Amino acid sequence: MDKGPFVCTGCALLCDDITVDLQDNRVIGVNTACLKGVSRMKGCSSPMTCTVDGKTVDVDTAIKEAARILEEAKHPLIFGHGNSTLEAQKKSIELARELGAHIDDTSSFCQGPLVEAILNEKIPTCTLDEVRHMADVIVFWGADPSHSHPRHLSMYSYFPRGKQRQRGWEEDRTAVIIDVRRSDTAAVCGDKLYEIPVGADPEFMDALLNALASKVPKTSFNMDPKRILELANILKKAEFGVVFAGLGMTYSLDSLEPLFRLMDKLNETAKFHLIPMVGQYNMRGFDHTLFRETGHINRVYFGGEEVEHGPQRSVVELIRNNIIDAAMIIGSDPLASLPGPLAKKLSKIPLITIDPCENLTSRISKVTIPSALSGVECGGTAIRMDGVEVVLKQIIETNRLTDEKIIARIMEEI
Amino acid sequence: MGFGQFLTEPEFKLIIVTHRDVFQNTAQENSRFGEQYAERSSVIRLDKDDMKKMGVKAGDLVVAKNASGRVVLKAESSTLEQSHPGTAFMINGPWANALVAADTGGTGVPAFKNIEVMLSRSKGEKVTSLAELI
Ligand code: SF4
C-alpha cells in the first residue's frame, strides 16, 4: 500500500503533504491536515445508501432508474461537480451532451466570474508555489482563509520561509485585509485591516485607484484618505503582490470592471496577481474542463442547435423559471446551499444524487447512488485553486463505484 | 400566560452577512444532520447596542423573516470588538439561505452575503430545525 503523502480534498488548497494511519481498511488518523481536512478524510458518519424511492436497492437498479429519469426528462440538469475528479467531470459533460441537457456547477454562484476572467487572460495570476517563494505583499480581499482554507497562510501565503522570502512574515511579507468585519484572518494583518461597509468593494477599488494615481481618495463611508494612501504605497512597492479574492469581493461586484482597472493600475508600477479563493476541491477543474470543450466555464445548455450559455442557463435561473424537470446532482447539496425558495422548488422535481454521504438533497431524492470518496477511496486528478493540476491517490479499498464509473454506467443504459 | 403574548413584538431591520466557519464546516464533513452543524448554523450574531435596543440577551431566540422565508434563530452577541449597528452575522448554511431571495435580477447569483431581514424576539418558539427547512 502507498504510504503517501496523500492529498486532502477538504478544500481547493489540495494540501499534498497528508499522511494517514490505517486500520482494517479504514482511515483512523490523519496527520498534518487541518480540522476540516481530518473530518473529510476520515469519512462521514452518515454514508449514503443506494435507494430508489427511499427503498434500498442494488446499484444496477438505481443506475437503471437514474437513466430512465434522465431519458424521460425534457429538460434535465446535471449539477454539482465541485467534489468530483476531472475524469468524472469529463464524463458528466459527455452525458450532458448526449442528453441535450443543461449543465452547471457551483461556480455559477461562487467564484465563476473570476475563474472565467483568468481563463480569458483578463487578470494576471500566479501559482501558490510562487506565492510561497516570492510574494511580499499579500492582500486578502473579502476572504477569511483561517476558516475557509485553514492551512492557506501556513502552507503558502504568509508564514512560510520561501526561496526569496527567507525572513518570512516577520520582515519579508506584508499582509493586508479588506473586509466587512475583523475576521480571524484579520488578526494576522494587525493594523492593515481595511474595514469597509457591505457591498462597498467597487467603491473602495476606485478609491484605491485614485490613491495609486496620487489623488486624494474619497469614500462615502469616510475612510481616512491617509490610510488609503498608505495602502496604495504598500501596494505600489510590491515586488510580487497577490490578491486573494474571496466571495466577499466577488459577490459585491456587479461587474468585474473596477477590479480589472485596479489590477491594470497596480501592474503599471508593481507586479500583481490574483488567485480566487475557490472552495470545493475541484470546482476550478470543472470550469477548466467545460471551458476547453465549449469556451464557457459553466451555465451551458446542450439541447439547442448550438451550445447555449448565459445567466438564463444558470442553475438558479433554471430552477426559478421552472425550466428543468429532473436533475442529477453530483457531489453537491443544493438543497442546503441554494436560497430557500429555490431549494423548495428543486425538491418538487425528480432528483438523482450521487455522493459518498447523505445530505439534505439526497434525503428527498428519488434515486441515490453512493460513490467513492475521492482522494481516499479513489484517485484521479483535480485542479487546485491556483489552476495547478494535482494528482489524487487512492488510500483505501472500497466497493463503491467512482462518480466517473457511475456516470459511465448511466450512459450505457441510455 | 401573560398579556405580552397578544402584543406583536417590535421588528428591527437588519442586514445579515454570512461567512464561513471551520468548526461548522468540520461538523458538516462529519454529518449534515449532526447537532453541532445545526447549532452553529442557526446562530445570529448581533451588535451589542442593537441587542440592547431590541431587548435581546445572548441566548434568546429571535425570528428573522423576509419575503423569502422565516427562521427562528439563537441570538448571540457579536465577537467583533468594533460596533456594527444594523449588521448581523451568520455562518453560511441552510438557515441563512432560507432568507436569501430567489430573484437575482437575472444574474443567477443570489445575494448570499447581503440579506435584508426584519428581526424580532421570538415568543415561545423553538429554533427552526433542519427538518423544517426541507
Ligand atoms: S486546508 Fe483544505 S486541503 Fe488543506 S488540510 Fe485543510 S481542508 Fe484539507
Quickly list DSSP for A316-359: HHHHHTT--SEEEEES--HHHHS-HHHHHHHTTS-EEEEESB--
Whether B65 contacts chain A with CB within 8 A: no
What is the count of residue pairs from A and B with beta carbons less than 8 Å apart?
Answer: 143
B1 pLDDT higher than 50: no
CATH number of A112-276: 3.40.228.10
Could you list the residue range(s) of the whole structural domain that residue B44 is in?
A: 10-124
- Residue/partner pairs of A304-310 with CB below 8 Å, 24 or more apart: none
Could you read off the pLDDT of A46-103 as tens digits, one per residue? 999 999 999 999 999 999 999 999 999 999 999 999 999 999 999 999 999 999 999 9
Q: Is B129 on the interface with A (CB under 8 A)?
A: no
SS3 of residue A62 by DSSP: helix
Cβ atoms of A101 and A303 within 8 Å: the answer is yes
pLDDT at A123: 97
Whether the pLDDT of residue B3 is over 60: the answer is no
Rounded to a whole number of angstroms, the CA Rg of chain B reads: 15
CB B102 to CB A315 under 8 A?
A: no
Q: Give pLDDT tens digits for A260-307.
A: 999 999 999 999 999 999 999 999 999 999 999 999 999 999 999 999
The count of domains in chain B is 1
> ipTM, 2 decimals?
0.90
Residue A114: CB partners within 8 Å, gap ≥ 6? A123, A245, A250, A256, A274, A276
Judge whether A262 and A274 are in contact, CB under 8 Å: no
- Measured between beta carbons, the chain B residues lying within 8 angstroms of A248 are 19, 113
pLDDT recorded at residue B5: 54
Can you tell me the distance from the alpha carbon of A203 to that of A198, in angstroms, rounded to the nearest whole number? 11
Q: Is residue B119 part of a domain?
A: yes
Q: With an 8 Å Cβ cutoff, are A109 and B134 in contact?
A: no
pLDDT in tens, B67-114: 999 999 999 999 887 889 999 999 999 999 999 999 999 899 999 999
DSSP structural state of residue B31: -
Give the full edge-to-edge strand order of the sheet including A351-355.
Answer: A55-56, A51-52, A367-370, A351-355, A326-330, A76-80, A102-105, A300-301, A308-309
Low-confidence ranges of chain A (pLDDT < 50): none
pLDDT in the model for residue B83? 86
Q: Where are the domains of chain A?
A: 46-107+281-373+400-413, 112-276
DSSP designation for A44: -
Of B27, B87, B108, the CB nearest to A109: B108
Residue B35 lies in a domain: yes
pLDDT of residue A121: 96
pLDDT of residue A95: 98
Tens-digit pLDDT profile for residues B16-46 = 999 999 999 999 999 989 999 999 999 999 9
User: What is the DSSP secondary structure assignment for residue B58, as one 8-state letter?
Assistant: T
Secondary structure of residue A368 in the 3-state scheme:
strand
The CATH architecture assigned to A46-107+281-373+400-413 reads 3-Layer(aba) Sandwich (3.40)
- Which DSSP symbol is given to A224? -
Q: Which three cell numbers stand for residue B87?
A: 449588521
- HSE at residue A389, side-chain half, CA atoms within 13 A, is 10
The answer to whether B72 touches B78, Cβ cutoff 8 Å, is no
CATH at residue B117: 2.40.40.20
* Closest to B62 in 3D by CA, of B50, A381, A181: B50
Angle A225-236/A201-212 helices, nearest 10 degrees?
Answer: 70
Angstrom distance (rounded) from CA A25 to CA A155:
29
Q: Is residue B2 part of a domain?
A: no
Q: Do A109 and B32 touch (CB under 8 A)?
A: no
How many angstroms separate the CA atoms of A156 and A166, rounded?
13
pLDDT digits (tens, 9 = 90+) for B42-54: 999 999 999 999 9
Whether residue B1 lies inside any domain: the answer is no
- Residue whose entry in the numeric block shows the C-alpha cell 490610510: A227
Which chain B residues are within 8 Å of A337, Cβ to Cβ? 97
Average pLDDT, chain B: 91
Mark which residues 362-381 of A lie under 8 Å from B by CB.
363-364
Flag whether B44 is in a domain: yes
**What CA–CA distance (Å, rounded) separates A238 from A164?**
13
What pLDDT was estimated at residue B82? 80
Q: What residue has cell string 439541447? A: A303
User: Is there a contact between A160 and A132 (Cβ–Cβ < 8 Å)?
Assistant: yes
Identify which of A213, A263, A223 has the alpha carbon closest to the alpha carbon of residue A243: A263
Q: Give the distance from CA A400 to its chain's centroid.
A: 25
How confident is the model at residue B8, as a pLDDT?
78
SS3 A186: helix
The pLDDT score that the predictor gives to residue A21 is 94
**Grid coordinates in use for A24?**
482494517
* Dihedral sign computed on CA atoms, order A282, A288, A289, A295: positive
Residue B4 has pLDDT above 70, yes or no: no
Using an 8 Å CB-CB cutoff, list chain A residues near B70: none
Best residue among A9, A83, A148, A149 to mutate for probing ligand 1, ranked by most atoms within 8 Å of CB: A149
